[in-house]
Chains A and B, each alone.
Chain A
Amino acid sequence: MEPVEIDSGRHNPGVDPGLHIWGWEIPVYLFLGGLVAGLMVITAMAELRGGRPRSPILRMAPFGALVLLSLGMGALFLDLGHKLYVWRFYMAFRPTSPMSWGSWILVLVYPVGILHGLGSISDTARASARRRLGRVGGWIVGGATFADRVRAPILWLSLVLGAGLGVYTGLLLGTTPARMLWNSAVLGPLFLVSGLSTGAALLLLFPMDDGERHQLARFDAVAILAEMSVLGLYLVGLGSGGAPQRAAAATLLGGAWTAPFWGLVIVLGLVTPLALETIEQRLGRPFTRLAPMLVLIGGFSLRAILVAAGQDTSFRLFP
């Protein structure tokens, strides 16, 4: 290619010399959103298959998910430039905008999560709430009784909304053709399986019933394998694309972001915890919290690296 020298008079803050519009807030939101999606899907799926969970942490998870989601939405709010106009998200539904889908999914997650959580409260906890919390306890028990009646549809809604939330966090980036590293619909399933894996990992950090821990660790191993496969497909898709896609892939395969991506995401976040979980399960070694912690570090790194690296992979690389 012949040499090109470009002298641009544009120096807009946040845009030049390279786009930098999204800082730490967006990866934090994408990570927590994925985590919440994982928690919703895992807890709903577990109960649809095997009945009410035994471990308190699994019964608390729907409420915990809402707390994490609120933190994530807080991060998202901090990122907004025009904060006082945040309500504008809810004055429109724009079917072509993933962010619009996400805004409405987030609103639906709250009532479903509350009903999911209320229905998960154990009978002893309900009795104790009625005894100790007076009128509030009565409301909680009333809500829980109502949640019991709509349990099956709520679990299915949790499953579907959780999957939607997970996929949307990926499509938020994936539907942006102007940033080549993001321009892949595979980011939808990638962020979903990563969310499932980080959701399982977060639960594994807490004490729980041995049988449920065993099931969850196995689920996490399968999710990690799925994530590795989808990540492989994502890189194949970019690497076999046109020049812009190949240039984007090069940032992770030899370029500036290679070391953090392979070190933090692949080795530390996927390969190592998969090996540790396999050793623990196959050789009957005692469970440690190292593998889940590494999965969480890897899940956050994946989003942080893609958000940071992707902003710079634009058409301006091809004058």
Chain B
Amino acid sequence: MTSKRYAMVVDTRLCVACKACVLACKAENDVPEGYCRDWLVEEVRGRFPDLRAENRSERCNHCTNAPCVGVCPTGASHIAEGGVVLVTAAKCTGCKACMAACPYDARYVTPDGYVDKCTFCLHRVQRGEEPACVAVCPTHTLHFGDLDDRESGVSRLLTERDFKVNHPESGAEPNVFFLT
């Protein structure tokens, strides 16, 4: 079996912050009302008139060195196919250690009591489809693929373009990349 390392690439130069990704995720994953697994961050840096704006569609970074998985006492948080970090609700006690450990605050406690977050829509990916947020993005800001495949779209984008990750100092090795 060939190894896979799923990653998402977000082109901050194309994002218009329409939030279609947020709505698609809520619909696809039955995200409870008032919660979200992905969200938009609109950031403005500098002093007027020298301002730089950036829109970022953010979510769980499915870190290679995921702190949430290490601290989970029951194995509910685990690394699944392609390095995707998942939570098994039936193993989760709702102790919230993973939420304390997440450098990105990407997790939440559902009204049912267990912890949940973005799954990279692994159920869709296993059917050969893209994650819901990627599929609906009208500006082609979002890209999903396998970093271990050097010919994949995400690999090529990270070779050709400058990119960054959120809080690399966390040491978690996030797998959501932002093209700048």
Interface of A with B (CB < 8 Å)? 2-16, 19, 21-22, 79-83, 85-86, 88-89, 91-92, 94, 96-100, 102-103, 172, 175-179, 182, 244, 311, 314-316, 318-319
Asked if A94 and B103 sit within 8 Å, CB to CB, the answer is no
Residues of A within 8 A of B113 (CB): 80-83
Compute how far the CA of A16 lies from the CA of B94 in the bound complex, rounded to whole angstroms.
18
Q: Is B34 an interface residue (CB 8 A)?
A: yes
Question: Which listed segment binds A: B7-15, B65-73, B130-138?
Answer: B65-73
B31 to chain A, nearest CB (A): 10
Closest to B109 in A: A81
- Beyond the given pairs A11-B36, A82-B89, 11 more chain A to chain B contacts, judged by CB atoms under 8 angstroms and listed by A's residue number, are A5-B45, A9-B19, A9-B40, A16-B105, A21-B99, A81-B93, A81-B115, A88-B93, A92-B75, A94-B74, A179-B100
Interface hub of B22, B42, B73, B112 (most chain A Cβ within 10 A): B73
Cα A102 to Cα B74 in complex, Å, equals: 12
Give B97's nearest chain A residue, CB to CB.
A99
B73 to A97, Cβ gap below 8 A? yes
Residue pair A176, B71 in contact (C-beta under 8 Å): yes
Residues in A whose Cβ lies below 8 Å from that of B108: 12-15
Residue of B nearest to A98 (CB): B71
Q: Which residues of A contact B19 (CB under 8 A)?
A: 9
Docked-complex contact A175 and B71, CB < 8 angstroms: yes
Chain A residue contacts of B34, Cβ below 8 A: 11-13
B61-99 interface with A by 8 A CB criterion: 67, 70-76, 89-97, 99
Give A100 to B70 CA distance when docked, in angstroms: 10
Residues of chain B touching chain A, judged by Cβ–Cβ distance below 8 Å, are 19, 22, 34-36, 39-47, 58, 67, 70-76, 89-97, 99-105, 107-109, 112-115, 167, 169-171
CB-CB under 8 A from A79, the residues of chain B are 95-96
Which residues in A have their C-beta under 8 angstroms from that of B93? Answer: 80-83, 85-86, 88-89
Q: In terms of DSSP, what is the predominant structure of the interface of chain A?
A: loop
B171 proximity list for chain A (CB < 8 A): 177
Contact (Cβ within 8 A) A177 B170: yes
Alpha-carbon gap, A246 to B169, bound state (A): 15
Q: How far is the CA of A182 from the CA of B43 in the complex (A)?
A: 28
Q: Closest CB of chain B to A262's CB: distance in Å?
A: 25
Contact of B45 among A4, A16, A21, A179 (CB under 8 A): A4
The 10 closest A-B pairs by CB, nearest first: A81-B94, A82-B94, A10-B39, A81-B113, A100-B73, A82-B113, A99-B73, A12-B108, A9-B40, A88-B74
Q: Smallest distance from the beta carbon of B168 to chain A beta carbons, Å?
A: 10
Complex Cα gap A176–B172 (Å): 12
> Is A88 a contact of B71 with CB atoms below 8 Å?
no
Kindly report which residue of chain B lies nearest to residue A16, judged by CB atoms: B105
Q: 23 A-B Cβ contacts within 8 A?
A: A2-B45, A4-B44, A5-B43, A5-B45, A6-B43, A7-B41, A8-B40, A9-B40, A13-B109, A81-B96, A81-B114, A83-B94, A83-B113, A85-B92, A88-B91, A88-B92, A88-B93, A94-B72, A94-B73, A97-B72, A97-B73, A177-B67, A314-B103
What residue of chain A has the Cβ atom nearest to residue B38's Cβ? A10
Chain A residue at minimal CB-CB distance from B96 = A21
Residues of A within 8 Å of B167, CB to CB, are 315, 318
In the complex, the answer to whether A314 meets B105 with C-beta atoms within 8 Å is yes
CB distance from A19 to the nearest CB of B (A): 6
CA distance A14 to B22 in the complex (A): 19
Which of the residues A100, A182, A316 comes within 8 Å of B105, measured between beta carbons? A316
A169 → B minimal CB distance (Å): 13
Are the C-beta atoms of B74 and A21 separated by less than 8 Å? no
Pairwise interchain contact B95-A315, C-beta atoms closer than 8 A:
no
Q: How far is the CA of A177 from the CA of B67 in the complex (A)?
A: 8
- Taking a contact as CB atoms under 8 Å apart, the answer to whether A178 and B36 are in contact is no
Q: When the two chains form their complex, are residues A3 and B45 in contact, meaning their CB atoms are under 8 A apart? A: yes
Q: What residues of chain B lie closer than 8 Å to A9, measured between beta carbons? A: 19, 22, 36, 39-42
Say which residue of A6, A14, A88, A97 sits within 8 Å of B109 (CB atoms): A14
A195 to B77, CA, bound (A): 31
**Known contacts A97-B72, A311-B100; is-contact A82 B92 (Cβ 8 Å):** yes
B72 CB, min distance to chain A CBs, angstroms = 6
| A3 & B46 in contact (Cβ 8 Å cutoff) | yes
Question: Inside 8 A of A2's CB, which chain B residues have their CB?
Answer: 45-47
CA gap between A86 and B40 in the complex, in Å:
35
